Structure 1
């Protein structure tokens, strides 16, 4: 049984946890513990478990509104104990995305403990002050640490004797649908003129909305299609221009239809502590869709994507406009051929397979403290020392 502890809602947006755990169900019973929700008028805490089509079981602690912090932790501890006791005798894997879960899970010792570190959560707005100390404890407890990008790996590798880098991967079959000719434009995008430059993903403090506004003002004839939920920032703070179109959240299944109608993509990440270690999953997704892409100078986009000429890297509005013009005007054929060569060996199936192999080896106590693993982002078959 694999029990995942996450700060992300399963049905929020499709990203790393969903891609990996939807594959883990082939080998394990997967229970995905979300953070609690609070219910007015509730007298007794309960655990709601929802089976997903993939087989993942999403466990949501439902707590009475107003329950104190210590009481909330105790309630979740009891819920976890009930789940584990109901499957007593099974091999148990704890898979952490948030160190905060140690507050209610740290009293149980699984057969294998994995920390899949996909973000530097301590840099996010509103991060709990105890997060840093809990992460230090998690490093002590973890048998394996997976880093979600090269920059995160470099930041974390000295903190644990067995850290592996597994950058963002790609569901090529899903996003390559955007290349199919004749796809019908979604209704809310149909009347937006071309050229269209698009973004999809969570819209939060990591987006440089001022840069978006300046680029849109420089090119009023271009139209910018922005897809995604607005989180941790005031929607009223988003820039409003006639050529800026904030279309809200779209499902994962809808994304290829939107991307099919774009002439270029833009990843306007702010360069600050919240983006210092990010490895955006959407980078290979844009490329699989065949969308020429320009990004700000995020390290894990600069290398390898920028260095290989697959993504344009720009700083400031003038350079961003210039890079978008170049991306939209160059012949697609040679660039797409380079993209497809790079993406050929990149897949979430391969990433999960490599992770699972390391987990099996570690469970058998045969994994050396320094290992050599294939880099799933390389796409070249080269070996990297981790």
Structure 2
């Protein structure tokens, strides 16, 4: 049975990350290492079974990473490498596949023993030294990139790059028999909804203009709410409702109430045009989707998503989406969602690993 060492760039959480989704579906045993915890003693906790095939560990601290590059506290990387090696020995792993997700993890390569190396790139790491990412991509047997732009970015460093976009828990979102949450049963009129957190980087201007121009529509925002320059103006509108953060298991019930699914963009996060997992969740429902576009952006699904160049067009396209014939492209959207199921993404990974002798 294949054995994996997975080095995650984010903590294990109740809303599964890309790395969690993939790891839980690997055909084999997984030792999953999350970044150091808030407590200095977090790494002393024993490994715990978080999925039938996944055991979770928290790494000890390696010290702060310098933005400009350079080896940050070599002793810290040695300590992390020794910690991982002890866990590998404890669980009897032999010749595991090392799955990395962050350029800084290149410093661990000399401290670990593994049969093959994968770099799964699903984020913009420009805040870290470009040399780190270049070295990691060059050392990897295969690089998975979450978007064509990321693949182009890494192409000078690796001759073996495969496109692996984000995915979706398709069976969870494709259902049409979900009951609406009790708190929403009294809401009238068309419902236009957003799923995701609201922070200072989220561009709320398309949503604010649309909500002001259509006071008879209901706008439902589901997710954690932090600071944002336009938040107060949005909260002052009577047709805008904030449902707050909800458990992942309840999210399909909220999306099921939407007549139109709203996508928004975070400023400074579109350099590599990575399609958010939220969009694949929307696609899986078959419902109309409206998203803002930035100048020069390549549309990922132009045949099934309404792309707006500015807040004014965003509002107009929401009108058009509400008038859409459900029989028009609903099934095509669901087909895109089905093709993006995490189970299929893992099949793609296993096929590629098999082709290079690592499966």
TM-score by length of 2: 0.85
Moved more, 321-330 or 166-175: 166-175
Give the total of aligned pairs: 346
| 1:110 shift after superposition | 1.5
Query: Which of residues 212, 221, 227 in structure 2 aligns to 1:234?
Result: 227
Aligned equivalents of 1:246 and 1:263: distance in 2?
Answer: 17
Q: Secondary structure at the match of 1:154?
A: helix
| 1:141 shift after superposition | 1.4
* Cα deviation digits, residues 212-255 of structure 1 (max 9, x gap): 3233223233222222335xx63687342333333232222211
Q: Secondary structure at the match of 2:193?
A: strand
Query: Which of residues 250, 261, 268 in structure 1 aligns to 2:264?
Result: 268
| 1:204 shift after superposition | 4.2
Query: Which of residues 249, 259, 265 in structure 1 aligns to 2:245?
Result: 249
Alignment pair present for 1:321 and 2:315:
yes
Aligned equivalents of 2:203 and 2:337: distance in 1?
Answer: 28
Aligned equivalents of 1:59 and 1:36: distance in 2?
Answer: 9
The match for 1:286 is 282
Alignment pair present for 1:84 and 2:88:
yes
The match for 1:19 is 21
* Cα deviation digits, residues 85-119 of structure 1 (max 9, x gap): 32456121111111223334542242110011111
| 1:293 shift after superposition | 0.4
Alignment pair present for 1:37 and 2:37:
yes
Alignment pair present for 1:210 and 2:205:
yes
Alignment pair present for 1:350 and 2:350:
no
Contact 2:43-2:58 at 8 Å conserved across structures:
no
The match for 2:67 is none
The match for 1:137 is 135
| 1:81 shift after superposition | 2.0
Provide the alpha-carbon RMSD of the alignment. 3.1
Aligned equivalents of 1:345 and 1:63: distance in 2?
Answer: 39
Aligned equivalents of 1:194 and 1:354: distance in 2?
Answer: 42
Contact 2:14-2:248 at 8 Å conserved across structures:
no
The match for 1:368 is none
Query: Which of residues 102, 111, 115 in structure 1 aligns to 2:115?
Result: 111
The match for 2:355 is 361
CA distance 1:97–1:315, shift in 2 (3 Å)? same
| 1:302 shift after superposition | 5.0
Query: Which of residues 167, 172, 175 in structure 1 aligns to 2:173?
Result: 175
CA distance 1:316–1:268, shift in 2 (3 Å)? same
Contact 1:278-1:298 at 8 Å conserved across structures:
no
Q: Secondary structure at the match of 2:38?
A: strand
Structure 2 matches for 1:194-209, cutoff 5 A? 194-204=189-199, 207-209=202-204
Alignment pair present for 1:186 and 2:181:
yes
Query: Which of residues 3, 6, 30 in structure 2 aligns to 1:4?
Result: 6
* Cα deviation digits, residues 115-172 of structure 1 (max 9, x gap): 11111132xxxx4x44x22212211211100111222223222321100112223332
Aligned equivalents of 2:82 and 2:271: distance in 1?
Answer: 36
Aligned equivalents of 2:24 and 2:10: distance in 1?
Answer: 15
CA distance 1:334–1:58, shift in 2 (3 Å)? same
The match for 2:56 is 58
Q: Secondary structure at the match of 1:39?
A: coil
The match for 1:259 is 255
The match for 1:147 is 145
| 1:350 shift after superposition | 2.2
CA distance 1:112–1:300, shift in 2 (3 Å)? farther
Alignment pair present for 1:336 and 2:338:
no
CA distance 1:45–1:31, shift in 2 (3 Å)? closer
TM-score by length of 1: 0.79
